[in-house]
A = this chain, B = another copy of it.
Amino acid sequence: FTKIGFCGIRFLISVMHKTDVFTDCYCIVILHFFLVHTQESLEDEVSPRNKEQKNSDGSKDFCIKNIHQAAFGRREIEIAELEMPALMILRKAAQGEKPLVGARIVGCTHITAHTAVLMETLSALGAQCRWAACNIYSIQNEVAAALAERGVPVFAWKGESEDDYFWCIDSCVNVEGWEPNLILDDGGDMTHWIYKKYPQLLKNIKGIVEESVTGVHRLHQLYKTGKLCGPAINVNESVIKQKFDNFYFCKESILDGLKRTTDVTLSGKQVLVCGYGEVGKGCCAALKGLRAIVYVTEVDPICALQACMDGFQLARLNEVIEMVDIVITCTGNINVVLREHLEHMKNGCIVCNMGHSNTEIDVTSLMTPELTWRRIRAHVDHIIWPDGKIIVLLAEGRLLNLSCSTVPVYVLSITATTQVLALIELFNAPERGYKQDIYVFPRKMDEFVAALHLQNFDAHLTELTDEQVKYIGVNKNGPFKPSYYR
């Protein structure tokens, strides 16, 4: 990490340290792909910037690792499409009227199968898009290839240098005869590049859609200094993202993560989950579903009381550490599991982290001469005490999802849909509909995102009668709850 010096990552990390866990499962995804894909052989050491490639149509307007991986990437995209029905519905709806005809979007997001579905949806809705990566680790080269093959000018490859990173961003905007009018950003690097290098483009920008805590933070700084050039929509704080993202992402991945690494049988196992925020709630729900016995630690009495009423025993770490089989940290805080706790764990105890910070477990405290580390499998270390006791440490205390190749795409679909709708909204808003301000994604559109995702469940909404609408005093088409309601 030390060598990477560009501001986006530094900024991201600094902000991550200041926020709580209730934010962004994309962080998981980033690191996930980083670790999963670093094993791949670096077959080709020539920099993509120095390679000439063209797709089947002869286009060279992209820069990626290897266009020949397009078929593989296409298959990964196809898998993702099956779990992102809301976007597919939008595409189908656009067969008549295309709401983004005339939109020219520069995007800077993760380059993965599910964001590829997002990009291709924007294209299907009529937009012209140019794309760079917001993160150098998360890039799926094969997906980039599939996009390039279909004609999306995409500039990204895994392991690009800091210089490459900004070259890619620049390649999206520095195009003769093409000027963007919408920005889809994740972290703010694209936005700031334009502000810094191409301020003349800003006058045409109809709006910015930003989905990360970091990026929103940076937009607020622009706003405060009066530099915000147009409306921005903050999709991070949408109700639907907050209520669905972390909880379901963790619920759907924790069991998998534990089993792949350790083959552990979970029925009846005693598990300690540190933290009962959305991440902890998700882990607990999944573990209980498979009939583990779950203990919870919490610092916030309200979350603690929820844990109790949900049937989990609330304890302090040191009270149960000697009896549990598995410890999972979900606090977003630091030094939650210390060497003294590890000392008291029983033989075979599995220790891992689902929170967002890799400092929840004090792993460095285990790097002492009397302890033997043995790498047992990828992402699995046995730390062996002098008396033979083994502690099973997963992913060296980094996110467990790292070692887990599954990503619950359907959950990610919610954010992606929110982004598309925000872009449509900004593009189609009347001239002075939005001011130079940062808008929260409105509840009514939240409800629309939810409604699109209902299709996946063969779920049928009930419509209020006129009488009922009048009785409870809402609009027939929503919003159905006040904005503060969660």
Contacts and interface: CB of A to CB of B under 8 A. Distances in A.
Contact of A289 (B290, B304, B467, B478): B290
15 contacts: A78-B382, A243-B306, A259-B408, A263-B407, A263-B408, A263-B409, A267-B308, A267-B309, A267-B310, A269-B457, A301-B478, A305-B454, A307-B459, A308-B456, A316-B461
B334 A467 contact: yes
Question: Across chains A and B, which 7 residue pairs bring their CB atoms closest together, nearest first?
Answer: A289-B289, A291-B311, A314-B459, A486-B486, A265-B410, A301-B450, A300-B480
Interface string A382-413: 10000000101000000000000111111100
Nearest to A446: B302
Interface in A429-471: 446-448, 450-451, 453-454, 456-465, 467-468, 471
A60 interface: no
A268 B406 contact: no
B301 A448 contact: yes
Contacts of A481: 20, 300, 302
B301 A390 contact: no
Interface string A303-346: 11111111111111101000100000000111110000000000
A129 B410 CA distance: 52
The contact size tier of chain A is 35 or more
A83 B265 contact: yes
Interface string A1-24: 000000000000000011010100
A339 to B, nearest CB: 14
Contacts of A392: 82
B252 A319 contact: no
A367 interface: no
A293 interface: yes
A221 interface: no
Given A263-B80, A297-B462, A305 B453 contact: yes
A374 interface: yes
Nearest to A315: B460
A309 B281 CA distance: 14
Contacts of A255: 255-256, 290
A450 B473 CA distance: 33
Contact of A311 (B259, B268, B298, B407): B268
A410 B263 CA distance: 9
Given A79-B376, A270-B313, 8 more contacts: A22-B485, A268-B308, A268-B311, A285-B291, A288-B289, A300-B447, A333-B464, A333-B472
A264 interface: yes
B462 A317 contact: yes
A83 B390 CA distance: 12
A374 B462 CA distance: 32
A450 B305 CA distance: 6
A461 B313 CA distance: 11
